[in-house]
């Protein structure tokens, strides 16, 4: 690829990203959204977060895609703490503690 092609792609992607973000923030940012849409948007983070975390737990790059018992244990502990105590910070710190504890014991 030439330098010109790379810069055209970068500028085009930048403009495309701006248009996508502006469509939500600039155009409808100051308008009242319908109740049904607001209700559905509440579930977006809950749906996206497992999609981001699951591949890192099941197929971690640190182990070349092999399942890692330490990460599976940490994810299970974090899920349990989050479900039982309804605490996001508790789940984060519990999962981190479990990860480091299992890694220090077995590795």
pLDDT tens for residues 68-94? 899 999 999 999 999 999 998 999 999
Measured between alpha carbons, how far is 4 from 10 in angstroms, rounded to an integer? Answer: 10
User: Can you list the positions of beta strands (E) in 1-76?
Assistant: none
Looking at the structure, do residues 100 and 49 belong to the same domain, yes or no? yes
99 plus 48 within the same structural domain:
yes
Q: Does the reported pTM lie above 0.85?
A: no
Pair (52, 82) in one structural domain: yes
Q: Are residues 53 and 10 part of one domain? A: no
Distance, in Å, from the CA atom of 61 to the CA atom of 65, rounded to the nearest integer, reads: 5
Percent of the chain with pLDDT over 90: 65
pLDDT of residue 101: 96
Q: Are residues 49 and 98 in the same domain?
A: yes
- 22 and 55 in a single domain? The answer is no
Q: Are residues 54 and 91 in the same domain?
A: yes
- Residue range(s) defining the domain that contains residue 50: 34-106
- 6 & 47 share domain: no
User: pLDDT tens digits, residue range 50-69?
Assistant: 899 999 999 998 888 888 89
């Amino acid at each position: 690829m030439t330098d010109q092609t790379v810069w055209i792609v970068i500028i085009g992607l930048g403009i495309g990203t701006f248009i996508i973000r502006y469509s939500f923030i600039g155009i409808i940012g100051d308008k009242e959204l319908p109740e049904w849409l607001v209700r559905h948007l509440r579930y977006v983070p809950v749906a996206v977060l497992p999609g981001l975390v699951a591949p890192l737990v099941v197929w971690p790059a640190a182990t070349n895609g092999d399942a890692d018992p330490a990460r599976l244990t940490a994810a299970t502990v974090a899920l349990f703490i989050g479900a039982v105590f309804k605490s996001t910070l508790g789940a984060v710190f519990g999962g981190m503690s479990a990860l480091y504890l299992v890694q220090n014991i077995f590795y």
